[in-house]
Amino acid sequence: MEGILFPRAVPEGREGLTEYRARGGYEALAKAIKGTPEDIVKIVSEAGLRGRGGAGFPTGKKWQLTREATETPRYLVLNGGEDEPGSKKDRVLLENLPHLVIEGTILSACAIGATQAYLYINAEYDDAIKSITDALTEAKAAAYWGEKVLGSDFSLDIEIFPAPHNYVAGEDTAALEVIEGRKPQPRQKPPFPVTVGLFGKPTSVNNVETLANVAPIVLKGAEWYRRFGTAESPGTMIFSLNDDVNRPGVYELPFGTPLRYLIEECGGGLKSGKPLKAIMPAAPSSAFLPPDKIDTPLDHNSMREAGSALGCGVVKLISEGTCIVEEVLRIADFFTAESCGKCPACRMETSTLSMLMKKVQAGQGGQPILEQFGKILAFNKGKGFCNLIAMPGPPIESALNLFPADFEAHLSTGKCPVN
């Protein structure tokens, strides 16, 4: 089946304006500019586009809420912070398909009535920033953005803003803080950015991959888009596979494709050659799944029913012979290091979980220590300014459920059963 974002396979090298136009590039903009902004919101809502930044929030609904906010100006922020370990989909889109991203940005700004868009891009992504900078120059010369886009009444300014190399800096309100010149720390919500966002004005923050879907939807229609994926998760999603498979890379697949297809056909199976012990469909913050869930369809509902989540599509595989206690300790330490420290609850929760996991690793505390995890997580549920506080829970709780023997081995011997 043809892809939506990647023309054939994952493109190698940057697609220039001539090549992009040759496959229909900027035709969606030319079409949309003759209609109304509401038409763009309507078609994207009908297509059922859901955010690819992790939560799967309906994009049309977010835009509608931004439009309904009465304050002006409104802002659009393209979120290319991408500091999730192992995620590379946004970088590939920015580097290789910059015009697809830019056309989606212009259409989205037009949809919400924004006259200023910020492209918030991971500051370490030198090639992506260069590629986008060059594409912006080409697109401006062609009157796709700037004063009076394609001779219409719509004007749009676009600015690149480097995102700090820091996980929390990708959280939407932390991104707004950075653009306003402050430290990357999330804001308390509500109010949500759609009503009180950048400089206190209505703002839509959308992931790079989300916005890359907009031009194809506007050009080819909602019905065409819904031919891909499932009813509740239409379209495709880009999944990132890393060194635990034979063919690491990014793969665009229709939602609903069995996880097995991604792992075996795309990734070429486990590099270790050993049997699969566990799957983490949204590393590092989702619950582990056991190997018998390998046929779970890759869509939001199916993953939730299986007990995990889709997140932003970084699929991590654990081979037999890997100790889950060591894996979970690494994850707990990651969240402790990445907690920005603004909320006492998050700071306390993440550091306590790390401390408890270190004790388990060292064989201290016996069975009673295992009960502490659930208590700490329950106590902090719903607290914190951002979702980071909810991220360490699923890996720990699923590991305790699925792999009690690994915990018992550490607790009874004080040694790792594997290393």
Ligand X SMILES: Cc1cc2nc3c(=O)[nH]c(=O)nc-3n(C[C@H](O)[C@H](O)[C@H](O)COP(=O)(O)O)c2cc1C
Q: Which residues form the interface with ligand X (CB under 6 A)?
A: 51-55, 57, 62, 79, 81-84, 167-168, 170-172, 205-207, 210, 386-388
Least separation in angstroms between residue 2's CB and ligand X is 23
Least separation in angstroms between residue 384's CB and ligand X is 9
Q: For residues 257 and 8, what is the distance between their CA atoms, to the nearest angstrom?
A: 18
Q: Which is nearer to ligand X, 334 or 407 (CB)?
A: 334
Least separation in angstroms between residue 382's CB and ligand X is 14
Least separation in angstroms between residue 379's CB and ligand X is 20
How would you write the chain as a 3-class SS string?
Answer: CCCCCCCCCCCCCCCCHHHHHHCCCCHHHHHHCCCCHHHHHHHHHHHCCECCCCCCCEHHHHHHHHHHCCCCCEEEEEEECCCCCCCCHHHHHHHHCHHHHHHHHHHHHHHHCEEEEEEEEECCCHHHHHHHHHHHHHHHHCCCCECCHHHCCCCEEEEEEEECCCHHHHCHHHHHHHHCCCCCCCCCCCCCCCCCCHHHCCEEEEEHHHHHCHHHHHHHCHHHHCCCECCCCECEEEEEECCCECCCEEEEEECCCEHHHHHHHHCCCECCCCCEEEEECCCCCCCCECHHHCCCECCHHHHHHHCCCCCCCEEEEEECCCCHHHHHHHHHHHHHHHCCCCCHHHHHHHHHHHHHHHHHHCCCCHHHHHHHHHHHHHHHCCCCCCHHHHCCHHHHHHHHHHCHHHHHHHHHHCCCCCC
Least separation in angstroms between residue 83's CB and ligand X is 5
Q: Which is nearer to ligand X, 322 or 380 (CB)?
A: 380
The two beta strands, 314-319 and 276-280, are antiparallel
Q: For residues 119 and 79, what is the distance between their CA atoms, to the nearest angstrom?
A: 7
Least separation in angstroms between residue 256's CB and ligand X is 19
Least separation in angstroms between residue 309's CB and ligand X is 13
Q: Which is nearer to ligand X, 170 or 392 (CB)?
A: 170
Q: Which is nearer to ligand X, 342 or 410 (CB)?
A: 342
357 in Cβ contact with 332 (< 8 Å): yes
Q: Which is nearer to ligand X, 84 or 95 (CB)?
A: 84
Q: Which is nearer to ligand X, 346 or 409 (CB)?
A: 346
Least separation in angstroms between residue 180's CB and ligand X is 16
Least separation in angstroms between residue 243's CB and ligand X is 21
CA-only gyration radius of the chain, Å: 22
Q: Which is nearer to ligand X, 135 or 211 (CB)?
A: 211
Least separation in angstroms between residue 77's CB and ligand X is 8
Least separation in angstroms between residue 288's CB and ligand X is 20
Q: Which is nearer to ligand X, 116 or 210 (CB)?
A: 210
Q: For residues 36 and 32, what is the distance between their CA atoms, to the nearest angstrom?
A: 7
Residue type, 357: M
Q: For residues 417 and 293, what is the distance between their CA atoms, to the nearest angstrom?
A: 25
Q: Which is nearer to ligand X, 25 or 81 (CB)?
A: 81
For the beta carbon of residue 242, count every other beta carbon within 10 angstroms. Answer: 18
Residue type, 5: L
Q: Which is nearer to ligand X, 203 or 257 (CB)?
A: 203
Q: Which is nearer to ligand X, 127 or 371 (CB)?
A: 127
